[in-house]
A and B are shown apart, each in its own frame.
Chain A
Amino acid sequence: MIAEIGLAVLWMAAALAMLQLIAGGLSLRPEGRQLAALVRPVAVMQGVLVLVAFGALVTLFVTTDLSVKLVVDNSHSAKPLIFKIAGTWGNHEGSMLLWVTIMAVAGAFVALIERRLEERTLIATLAGQAFISLGFYAFLLIASNPFARLQEPVDDGQGLNPLLQDVGLAFHPPTLYVGYVGLSIAFSFAVGALVTRNVGPAFARAMRPWVLGAWIFLTVGITAGSYWAYYTLGWGGWWFWDPVENASLMPWLAATALLHSVSVLASRDALRAWTVMLGVVAFSMSMVGTFLVRSGILTSVHAFAVDPQRGTFILALLAIDIGSALALFGVRASTVSEGARFSFLSREASLVFNNVMLCGILGIVLVGTLYPLVTESMGVKVSVGAPYFNPVSAIFAFPMLLVMAVGPMLRWRKDRLDGERARRVSLPLAACGLLAVVVLVGVELTAHRISLLPALGIAMASGLVPASLLPLVGRNLRRTPFAVWGMVVAHLGLAVALFGMASESAFTTERLAALSIGETRDVGPWQVRLDGMMPVAGPNYTALEASVTARYEGGAPIVLHPEAESFANPPGTRNQSALLTRWNGQLYTVLGEQGDDGRWQMRFWWKPFVPLIWVGGLMVALGGFLALLGRVAADVRRLVAKDKIAWRRMRQGR
Chain B
Amino acid sequence: MKHKSAFALAATLALVLSAPVALPVLAQEGAPSAPYAYRQLPDPDQEARAKALMVTLRCVMCQSQSIADSDAPIAGDMRSEVRTRIAAGEDPEHIRQWLIQRYGDYVSFTPQVKPITWPLFAAPVAILLLAGLLLRGRFGKGTRT
Given contacts A356-B134, A360-B128, A363-B123, contact A386 B3 (CB under 8 A): no
- Please tell me if the beta carbons of A512 and B40 are within 8 angstroms of each other in the complex: yes
Given contacts A235-B2, A298-B63, contact A381 B127 (CB under 8 A): no
Query: What bracket does the count of chain A residues touching chain B fall in?
Result: 35 or more
Contact of B5 among A343, A375, A573 (CB under 8 A): A573
- Please tell me if the beta carbons of B111 and A382 are within 8 angstroms of each other in the complex: yes
**For B5, what are the chain A residues with a Cβ–Cβ distance below 8 Å?**
161-163, 567, 570-574
- Please tell me if the beta carbons of B3 and A371 are within 8 angstroms of each other in the complex: no
Q: CB-defined interface of A535-575 with B at 8 Å, one 1/0 digit per residue?
A: 00000000000000000000000000000000100111111
**For B106, what are the chain A residues with a Cβ–Cβ distance below 8 Å?**
381-383
Contact of B9 among A299, A359, A367, A386 (CB under 8 A): A299
**For B56, what are the chain A residues with a Cβ–Cβ distance below 8 Å?**
385-387
**For A396, what are the chain B residues with a Cβ–Cβ distance below 8 Å?**
127, 131
Contact of A514 among B32, B39, B123 (CB under 8 A): B39
Q: How far does the alpha carbon of A573 sit from the alpha carbon of B124 in the complex, in Å?
A: 41
Task: Pick out which of these stretches binds chain B: A25-33, A128-136, A239-247, A626-634.
Answer: A239-247
**For B9, what are the chain A residues with a Cβ–Cβ distance below 8 Å?**
299
For residue B6, CB closer than 8 A to chain A, the reply is yes
User: Which residues 100-115 of B sit at the A interface, judged by CB distance below 8 A?
Assistant: 104-112
In this complex, the member of A342, A349, A363, A575 whose beta carbon has the largest number of chain B beta carbons within 10 angstroms is: A363
For residue B144, CB closer than 8 A to chain A, the reply is yes
**For B135, what are the chain A residues with a Cβ–Cβ distance below 8 Å?**
352-353, 356
For residue B23, CB closer than 8 A to chain A, the reply is no
Closest to A393 in B: B124
For residue A638, CB closer than 8 A to chain B, the reply is no
Contact of B108 among A298, A383, A571 (CB under 8 A): A383
- Please tell me if the beta carbons of B145 and A386 are within 8 angstroms of each other in the complex: no
Q: How far does the alpha carbon of A363 sit from the alpha carbon of B124 in the complex, in Å?
A: 8
- Please tell me if the beta carbons of A371 and B127 are within 8 angstroms of each other in the complex: no
- Please tell me if the beta carbons of B110 and A364 are within 8 angstroms of each other in the complex: no
- Please tell me if the beta carbons of B127 and A384 are within 8 angstroms of each other in the complex: no
In this complex, the member of B1, B116, B135 whose beta carbon has the largest number of chain A beta carbons within 10 angstroms is: B1
- Please tell me if the beta carbons of B145 and A357 are within 8 angstroms of each other in the complex: no
- Please tell me if the beta carbons of A383 and B111 are within 8 angstroms of each other in the complex: yes
For residue B81, CB closer than 8 A to chain A, the reply is no
Q: How far does the alpha carbon of A367 sit from the alpha carbon of B121 in the complex, in Å?
A: 10
Write the nearest CB–CB distance from B136 to chain A, whole angstroms: 11
Closest to A355 in B: B134
Q: CB-defined interface of A562-599 with B at 8 Å, one 1/0 digit per residue?
A: 00000100111111000000000000000010001000
**For A356, what are the chain B residues with a Cβ–Cβ distance below 8 Å?**
131, 134-135
**For B1, what are the chain A residues with a Cβ–Cβ distance below 8 Å?**
163, 233, 300-301
- Please tell me if the beta carbons of B4 and A573 are within 8 angstroms of each other in the complex: yes
For residue B10, CB closer than 8 A to chain A, the reply is yes
Q: How far does the alpha carbon of A98 sit from the alpha carbon of B134 in the complex, in Å?
A: 39
**For A392, what are the chain B residues with a Cβ–Cβ distance below 8 Å?**
123-124
Write the nearest CB–CB distance from A416 to chain B, whole angstroms: 14
Write the nearest CB–CB distance from B6 to chain A, whole angstroms: 6
Q: CB-defined interface of A227-267 with B at 8 Å, one 1/0 digit per residue?
A: 00000011101001111000000000000000000000000
Closest to A337 in B: B145
Q: How far does the alpha carbon of A583 sit from the alpha carbon of B37 in the complex, in Å?
A: 32
B residues whose Cβ falls under 8 Å from a Cβ of A: 1-6, 9-10, 13, 17, 32, 38-40, 48, 51, 55-56, 58, 63-66, 68-71, 104-112, 116-117, 119-120, 123-124, 127-128, 131, 134-135, 138-139, 143-145
Interface contacts beyond A235-B70, A371-B120, A387-B56: sample of 6 additional A-B pairs, CB < 8 Å, sorted by A = A233-B2, A299-B63, A339-B145, A343-B143, A356-B135, A395-B128
4 tightest CB-CB pairs across the interface, nearest first?
Answer: A385-B109, A572-B5, A300-B63, A242-B64
A residues whose Cβ falls under 8 Å from a Cβ of B: 161-163, 233-235, 237, 240-243, 270, 298-301, 338-339, 341-344, 349, 352-353, 356-357, 359-360, 363-364, 367-368, 371, 375, 378, 380-388, 392, 395-396, 449, 510-512, 514, 567, 570-575, 592, 596, 601, 603
User: Would you mind naming 30 contact pairs between A and B with Cβ atoms under 8 Å apart?
Assistant: A161-B6, A163-B6, A233-B2, A237-B69, A241-B64, A299-B10, A341-B143, A341-B144, A352-B138, A353-B135, A356-B131, A359-B131, A363-B127, A364-B127, A367-B119, A380-B116, A382-B116, A383-B105, A383-B108, A383-B109, A386-B109, A387-B109, A388-B111, A392-B123, A392-B124, A449-B48, A572-B3, A573-B3, A574-B3, A592-B38
